Structure 1
Amino acid sequence: MAEHDDGSRSEPDVLVFRTTLTRMLVTMLLLGVVGWIFARLMVILLFDLGFSEEVIRESLISGVFYVMLFAGLGALGQRRRPTWVRLSGTGIELAAARRQPVFVPWDAVEAVRFRWFGPFTMVEVTPTSMAATSTGPPTGWGPRIRQRAGRPTIVTEVGLLHPGPDVLRAELTRRLPAGVVQPG
């Protein structure tokens, strides 16, 4: 099938990236296990408790309780206002967890940068002017804005979004002019 540019597109104009509960729970469980093992080893070593059968049993019981509580509270915190990113023909809309969404038209996107890796991946969108952006209804905290090189930058965590940060980077690279999406 030959491609033509008559304004119609075969792919959907809107692409939404959302946090899935399963992905978030698995990540929280893994982070909780790693955190608990580290913290428990520090306590055992600092207080010279040794690795007796009683200490190991106590560590396992308290570890299961801690990890389940950690993952459950994390899921509860994300349930009401999860993170999402929406790409459309007119621009990008970002909503960090429990924050107002921010819409940035494509022509107002000066730079996009991905930081960190894995579940900690963040996207930073620097608009040409904050006046060109618009925010959603004031039903949460204000947008997450940081100063990067003296410029206001909208920051959103995207490491747990589905289909994933790599797909988001590819889609932004496709929709924006060359050089706007900067390497990590």
Structure 2
Amino acid sequence: MAHIDQVLGPADDTVTFFQPRAMVYVTMLWVIAAVWVVSLGLHILVRLAVGDTLSGDDVVTYLEIALIVPVVTAAGILLMAWKRLGWLHSSMHGLDFAATGRKPVHLPWAGVATVALRHRGPFTELVVTPVAPDFATPGDGPGRAPRMRKRGGEVSYLVDVGLMSPGPDVLLAELHRRLPTKV
């Protein structure tokens, strides 16, 4: 009688996609900095519009705030999500994934109806639609319930993949390579 691993094949065929912390931090830093600088600029314009004048000390204070707040905010957010960044494992056993801060989900390949990307850049999301909702098995562990989108009778799972390494296009190609062809 054959051992189960001999029947199923090698167990080391897993391809892992993850979000590098440095990339997440730098992206958050630029987004937070852009929003923060625009907010400070509007605050300064409002002060000037009501007739207030800015002293040299005010300018230095605004520059310090513009530089420090985004760095500290991005670091704080990253520390809160340190062990909960999104990931995806593709293996012969199926698809395992978790969005940032969410519980993991396991879906066997026979239970995957479609996979697709939506949005662009760092905001790219993977939309995984199971054949039926009962094919997906949410895992235990910390985090909120998996991100889901319900349209009509169809349930889809959403995973943030815009910052995943090696990248959303490579991830989608890997998933399409493993998906069974439907006749």
User: TM tier, shorter chain?
Assistant: 0.7 to 0.9
RMSD: 2.5
TM-score by length of 2: 0.82
User: What's 1:115 paired with?
Assistant: 118
Change (3 A) 1:168 1:120: same
User: What's 1:13 paired with?
Assistant: 13
Q: Mark the structure with the bigger radius of gyration.
A: 2
Change (3 A) 1:143 1:45: same
Distance 1:56 1:99 in 2: 42
User: What's 1:31 paired with?
Assistant: 31
Query: Are 1:88 and 2:88 an aligned pair?
Result: no
Task: Point out the more displaced range, 68-77 or 42-51.
Answer: 42-51
Change (3 A) 1:59 1:9: farther
The answer as to whether partners of 1:44 and 1:50 remain within 8 angstroms in 2 is no
Q: How does 1:113-152 map to 2 (within 5 A)?
A: 113-152=116-155
Match of 1:153 among 140, 153, 156: 156
Distance 2:107 2:8 in 1: 23
Distance 1:101 1:131 in 2: 15
User: What's 1:182 paired with?
Assistant: none
* SS, match of residue 79 in structure 1: coil
Identity, in percent, stands at: 33
Distance 1:158 1:38 in 2: 27
Unaligned runs of at least 5 residues, structure 1: 1-6, 180-184
Q: Output one character per residue of 1:110-146: Cα deviation in whole Å (capped at 9) or x when no partner.
A: 1212111111111111111111111211432111111
TM-score by length of 1: 0.82
Unaligned runs of at least 5 residues, structure 2: 1-6
Q: Compute the displacement of 1:178 (Å).
A: 6.5
Counterpart residue type for residue 82 of structure 2: R
Distance 1:122 1:98 in 2: 15
Q: Output one character per residue of 1:133-171: Cα deviation in whole Å (capped at 9) or x when no partner.
A: 112114321111111344111111111111111211121
